[in-house]
Amino acid sequence: MTPTPDSDLQLLTQAALFDGLTEAQLHTIQQHATLVRVPRRTFFFHQGEAATTFYLLREGQVRLSQINPEGKQVIIHLFGPGDVLAVIVVLSNAPYPLSAEAITDCVAWAWNRETAVHLMEQCPRLAINGMDMVAGRFLELQNRYRELSTERVEQRVARALIRLIHQRNGYQEQKPYPLLSLTRQDLAEMTGTTLYTVSRICSSWEQQGLLEAGREQLHIHKLEELTTIADDLRPSPPNFPPRPN
Amino acid sequence: MTPTPDSDLQLLTQAALFDGLTEAQLHTIQQHATLVRVPRRTFFFHQGEAATTFYLLREGQVRLSQINPEGKQVIIHLFGPGDVLAVIVVLSNAPYPLSAEAITDCVAWAWNRETAVHLMEQCPRLAINGMDMVAGRFLELQNRYRELSTERVEQRVARALIRLIHQRNGYQEQKPYPLLSLTRQDLAEMTGTTLYTVSRICSSWEQQGLLEAGREQLHIHKLEELTTIADDLRPSPPNFPPRPN
DNA sequence: CGCATCGTTGATCAAGCTCAAGCCGCGTGG
DNA sequence: CCACGCGGCTTGAGCTTGATCAACGATGCG
C-alpha cells in the first residue's frame, strides 16, 4: 500500500460514487485512501474473513463468488473499473459473505471500515451514492434470480453474454464484441448451469455463425440474435404458431 | 391517508430504520409521515409504476413479487412489521421493479421521494440505517440465488420454511410453529419450482410427521429435521457413505 | 347451493446433469 | 526445441429430477 499520488485525484473525482461531492470532501476522502495492487488469480478477500476494507476498482476485472458447503461455486457478479467492492458489508461488521478474486491484474483504492462509516456520517451524499450503487446491483440480482427461476438455460446464457458486453465494453466497441478472460466454467457459474451445457450451447451458436468461440474468449457477431434468443418464449413442440395473443 | 397521531411516535422510534436518531430528527420524520391502510389482496404499488413513495410496515404481511413477460411470478421477499418497503428504488427515480401486495390487511407509514431524499441528506444516520437494511435483504437474496443454483427443490423448500419461521414469528412462539396465509403456490414462487412439486413435498413431510399441512397453512413440528434436510448433500444413489471428508 | 380457490395425485416426458473419454493449445522445463 | 502436462474445451450416452398435463377432492365464502 502506497499513499495516493496527487495525479490520482482526477480519477477519483470521476467515480460515480463521488458524484456531487465538494472539492474539500473529495480531498478528505482521498487522504484516507490507499492504493492497492492485486495480481491476477489472487484475492481481494475471502468469504468468511472479517470485512475490514472496501474498494473502488480502478483497473482490472474482479470475480465475486460464493461457494457452498458442497464446494460448488456461484458467481454473483463480475466487476470492472469504477465499480465498488464490498460497500454493503463494510457497514455492518459482519464477515465477507463471498470472495473477490482478480481475474486480471487489478489496481484499486481502499478504505477501511471506520473511515468509511466516518466519511459517510460527514457527507450524507456519499452514503446516498453508495446506496444508489447498491440499488443497481440489487436490481440486477433480482432480475437474475427471476431468470434463474423462470427461464431455460439457453436464454440465461444469452442474457449473461448481453449483460457482460454492456457492462464491460460500455457499448462503444466495434463488432465483433469481444469477451476476454471468460471461461465456459465462469459462464456456467453465472447462469446456474454446468460447464458442459454451456459448451454445447456455445458450439451450437458458433455453428449458426452467431459468435466465434475460443479458449477463454468469445467474439459476438450477432448481438441482436442473442437478444431474440433471450426473449424467445417457447415452452412447446417445435414449429409452434408464434403465439396467438 | 390521515396525519399520524402522536401516539404513533412511540412505535416509530422503535423501528430499526430510525436507530440512533435524535428526538428532534424523529419528530421531523414523523411530521412528514402519513399513515396508510392497505386491505388484503390490494397493492401498495405495481411493477412499472413510478416510484414515488416508500413505506415502513407497521402491521400485516406483504408479498414482493416480480412478474416476467410470460406471466410467471417470482416472489422476491415477504415482509412483516418493521420492514421497509421500496427504500432502494425511491432514491433513483426509476419505476418500481416489482409489485407489493398485501396478503393480510396492512397498516404502514409512508413518505414520498422528495422528503425521503431530503431527510437522508439532513441525517446521514438515516441513510446509513437504510443501507444496512438493504444490505440484509441483499445478503438474503444472494443466498437464495446460490441455493437456486446449486440445491435441489426439496432443500430449497425446507430452507424457505425455516426462513419464514425465523422472520415471521421471531422465534419465540411455541411448537408447532405456525405459518399462516401461505399457499403452496407462494412457496413454489419463493423457491423456483411448481405448485405440484411443493404439494408432493409437503404431503411426504406430513406422512413423516414432520409437519401438519392445511389450506393456506403449515404447522411445523420438527424444525430440526427440516434443517437436516436443507443441509443434506446427497448427489448419489441411496445408501451412500455419509461423505469421507 | 354453487362457485372459486386451493390442494392432491398419477402418468408422462424432456431439459439438462452426470460421467466418461478424448482433443487442443499453451507454457514450462528438460 | 521438443515433449510433457495442465487447464480449458468438446462431445456422446445414459439417466434423474422435476415440469407438465389432467382429473379430481376439499374447503370456504357469498
Same domain, A138 and A158: no
Residue A53's φ and ψ, nearest 5 degrees, are: -135, 145
Count of structural domains, chain A: 2
Same domain, A185 and A81: no
Same domain, A182 and A158: yes
Q: Are strands B34-38 and B2-3 parallel, antiparallel or unpaired?
A: antiparallel
CATH number, domain containing residue B157: 1.10.10.10
Q: Is residue A76 part of a domain?
A: yes
Q: Is residue B199 part of a domain?
A: yes
For A171-212, what is each residue's pLDDT tens digit? 566 778 899 999 999 999 999 999 999 999 999 999 999 999
- Higher-pLDDT residue of A87, B152: B152
CATH number, domain containing residue A213: 2.60.120.10
Same domain, A83 and A195: no
List the one residue out of A135, A93, A95 whose CA is nearest residue A117: A93
CA atoms of B210 and B216, how far apart (whole Å): 17
For A132-170, what is each residue's pLDDT tens digit? 888 889 999 999 999 999 999 999 999 999 999 998 765
For A111-124, what is each residue's pLDDT tens digit? 999 998 888 888 88
Residue A237 has a pLDDT of 43
Last residue of a domain, one of B124, B147, B170: B147
For B193-230, what is each residue's pLDDT tens digit? 999 999 999 999 999 999 999 999 999 999 999 999 99
Last residue of a domain, one of B90, B112, B147: B147
Which residues of chain A neighbour B98 with C-beta distances below 8 Å? 142
* A238 in reach of chain B (CB within 8 A): no
Residue A244 has a pLDDT of 37
Q: Cα distance from B7 to chain A (closest Cα, Å)? A: 30
Same domain, B37 and B95: yes
**Closest residue on chain B to A64 (Cα):** B142
Same domain, B74 and B105: yes
Same domain, A178 and A134: no
Same domain, B159 and B143: no
Last residue of a domain, one of A113, A147, A181: A147
As ranges, strand C nucleotides with an atom below 7 A of a protein CB are 6-11, 15-20, 25-26
Are residues A150 and B91, on separate chains, in Cβ contact within 8 Å?
Answer: no
Non-local CB neighbours of A93 within 8 Å, separated by 6+ positions: A50, A51, A113
A-contacting residues of B 47-76, CB under 8 Å? 66, 68-70, 72, 74, 76
Q: Domain of A140?
A: 2-147
In b/e form, how buried is each residue of B90-115, taking b as 16+ CB within 10 angstroms? bbeeeebbbbbbbbeebebbbbebeb
B-contacting residues of A 9-38, CB under 8 Å? none
The answer to whether the CB of A4 falls within 8 A of the CB of A33 is yes
Same domain, A129 and A219: no
Q: Is residue A208 part of a domain?
A: yes
Cell matching residue A76:
454473483
Are residues B74 and A125, on separate chains, in Cβ contact within 8 Å?
Answer: no
For B108-153, what is each residue's pLDDT tens digit? 999 999 998 888 888 888 888 888 888 889 999 999 999 999 999 9
Same domain, A18 and A126: yes
Q: Kindly state the average pLDDT of the residues B9-21.
A: 82
Same domain, B92 and B17: yes
Q: Is residue A209 part of a domain?
A: yes
Same domain, A35 and A104: yes
Which of A118, A132, A142, A193 should we substitute to test contact with B (largest number of B Cβ atoms within 10 Å)? A142
Q: Is residue B237 part of a domain?
A: no
**Closest residue on chain A to B121 (Cα):** A124
